[in-house]
Amino acid sequence: MKLCIAEKPSVAKEIAKVLGAHNSMQGYFEGNGYWVTWTFGHLCTLKEPHDYGPQYKSWNLIFLPIIPNNFGIKLIANKGVEKQFKIIESLVSQCEEVINCGDAGQEGELIQRWVLQKAKCTKPVKRLWISALTEDAIREGFADLKPAENYQNLYLAGNARAIGDWLLGINATRLFTKKFGGNKTVLSIGRVQTPTLAMLVQRQKEIQSFRTEDYWELKTSYREVVFNAAIDRLKTLDRAEQGLFYLQQHPFEIVSFEIKEGKEKNPRLFDLTGLQVEANRKYGFSAENTLKYIQSLYEKKHTTYPRVDTTYLSENLHPKIHGILKSMYSYVEYTKDLLSRPIPKSKAVFDDSKVTDHHAIIPTEIPASDHLSKEEKIIYDLVAKRFIAVFYPECKISNTLVEGKVGSIPFKANGKQILEPGWRKLYAKDKKENNKEEEQNIPEFSAGESGEHSPFIHHGRTSPPKPYTEASLLRGMETAGKQVEDDAMRELMKNNGIGRPSTRANIIETLLKRKYITKKKKNLYATPTGVELIDTIEDELLKSPELTGEWELKLRKIERGEYEASLFKEELVNMVSSLTQRVINEKSKIISLDSPLQEKGKKESTPSKNIPLEWEEEKCPQCKKNSLRKGKTAVGCSDFRNCNFKVPFIIFGKKLTEKQIKTLINKGKTSKLKGFTQHPDSMTEGTLLFDENYTLIIKKEGI
């Protein structure tokens, strides 16, 4: 018998159906010479520190760094996992050949290899490598099984990644927790999560240190077209008024009029990050949920493998494109023109040199069903329209530039018109896609013409950098913190990005769960704990996106056989060892999470005036059982593990006085306050009060 091991029961069921293994047994399918079984994702994990010695149960600095001579694996402690593994172990011992049917990626390879290693497999192993779960794709994959040895480097890269994360995560977390956590706060450090947090903290500091400045610009209206003065912004109103007076004394004259026709390139196909960015930008979906929806679509056979980092297709897919487009019945208004002519084989879409394990995310020939959830339909629509759009003609535009002058002051106006929409036809109803294209229509002008005009002053204020959203943070992780708008340049930088497409969503969720960051509407902000943690870490290796990006590049080189996994491990061991010595010798300070508040009797400075000790005898307004306590950054419930009531000393950028805090706690709201500088909706004044969940909000008068 041949044993097939899939990563999920649902995938095993599809494979069994194609292979003719129709008999459902306990933990596997059987038939036609095959056994088809499954894992539940990870069945095995790297051993924990205490598995290497009982002394490591204690989080003591004297035992750091923890560096096992040989890293071992163990079963995850779960009865269901243990039961399924015994079935796999028994089948492995009886079969004549194993076919690895895990997800065709680094993580999928690692999951399967660890299971086979734990089961002491000595049988020949082959690899099923497919990009879709349709019957045709599965049949083609089994007709072209590969030797497991072909994917040895992929496994080595996945194993090196896991060991690297263990070495840094275990040692740095224990190190910083014991040194700076004050015995009650676990300070989690990670190879990817810490530089990601550092990006958010850096952006937040840029916003907080930004000083808004007023500026004035000279503009004028001539023949219903608004022209901007082509000079530096003016720093004072007085200078602007002098300029306005000057403009009023002279006529407007056209210096040049130029129209250039151009083209807007088609958008690229989606990789996972691109899809997550688009879903967050248009619909506010979190990266984690987008991954969940596209994974579900893949398992339902409607789209191809989602955990990819390329925006290109393999050249051998070109003959199949016509059939996929023909099967997309719901999009016939867009596909009918494409199907009437040959599909172009453009290098912007089909390029084997840009495809490694998998191609970009596209629909399969199995159209989306009516049984999909609302969210799945939205994600499918994004993928489907993007797939169709890449085969449309480019969008033809005309760019108009008009230059003029008033006396000696130069002016200019720009305009853009869409001549032939091309691929933009698919997004004609998309307001968000088209709002940014709204530009004034410019009539034809003649050089030398002159006439009356209506000059005016525009008063503006400089704006701080925008907070990260999940969309912009994902792009930042992809490019190691660099702001890159150009698609081609971004493609080149992917090898140096931090994290992998499949793990970035989880990193963001981890930071949220650990309360290092918080989300307000679409914006992400570092919490005081997150800021303090990053400020405490002096070692740039731990928090630099660029340096972490270099580690990611080495992991990709291991995948390609261009770098030794043992060397990567050795470098991390050296880094962890030197980091441990440096941090142990640093001066200690205590970092507390927002929720754990100071114990009674301990004195600690606060950003506000000292809160009277008699407050500790008052009852918490939320649970109405426990007393209040004063912490470093807030007053809150003494039972912080079960009650999250808290009043920060600084809220929405405003430092509260003792009187304001006391009024808020006793009455549930303050009088009208001003000076809020960091409210997500840019509210600067209003009444501060608790909502029904005891979350602090600002309410404007009359609302």
How many C-beta atoms lie closer than 10 Å to residue 422's C-beta?
19
Which one is catalytic: 28, 155, 298, 305? 305
Q: How far is CA 133 from the centre of its chain?
A: 26
Are 35 and 21 contacting, i.e. CB atoms less than 8 angstroms apart? Answer: yes
| Pairwise CA distance, residues 660 & 142, whole Å | 70
Helix (H, G, I), strand (E, B), or coil: what is residue 703?
A: coil
| Pairwise CA distance, residues 426 & 362, whole Å | 16
| Pairwise CA distance, residues 196 & 480, whole Å | 9
Output phi, psi for 4, to 5 deg. Answer: -105, 130
Strands (DSSP E) contained in 586-684 are: 628-630, 634-637, 646-648, 650-651, 654-655, 669-674
| Pairwise CA distance, residues 90 & 499, whole Å | 36
Helix (H, G, I), strand (E, B), or coil: what is residue 134?
A: coil
| Pairwise CA distance, residues 34 & 29, whole Å | 8
Helix (H, G, I), strand (E, B), or coil: what is residue 309?
A: coil
Are 175 and 60 contacting, i.e. CB atoms less than 8 angstroms apart? Answer: no
Tokens linked to 385: 């329209």
| Pairwise CA distance, residues 522 & 501, whole Å | 20
Tokens linked to 652: 């929405």
Helix (H, G, I), strand (E, B), or coil: what is residue 426?
A: helix
Output phi, psi for 390, to 5 deg. Answer: -70, -20
468 is known as an active-site residue: no
Tokens linked to 102: 């895990």
Contacts of 637 (CB under 8 A, 6+ apart): 597, 620, 622, 623, 626, 628, 629, 643, 644, 645, 646
Helix (H, G, I), strand (E, B), or coil: what is residue 489?
A: helix
Are 305 and 131 contacting, i.e. CB atoms less than 8 angstroms apart? Answer: yes
Q: How far is CA 476 from the centre of its chain?
A: 8
Contacts of 312 (CB under 8 A, 6+ apart): 269, 349, 350, 351, 354, 355, 359, 360
Report how far apart, in Å, the C-alpha atoms of 501 and of each of 288, 382, 493 are.
Answer: 11, 18, 13
Q: What is the DSSP string of 193-258?
A: HHHHHHHHHHHHHHHHH----EEEEEEEEETTEEEEESSPPBS-HHHHHHHHHHHHTS-EEEEEEE
Tokens linked to 68: 């096992």
Q: Which residue has the tokens 């190190």?
A: 175
Three-state secondary structure of 351-408: CHHHCCCCCCECECCCCCCCCCCHHHHHHHHHHHHHHHHCCCCCEEEEEEEEEEEECC
- Which residues are catalytically annotated? 305
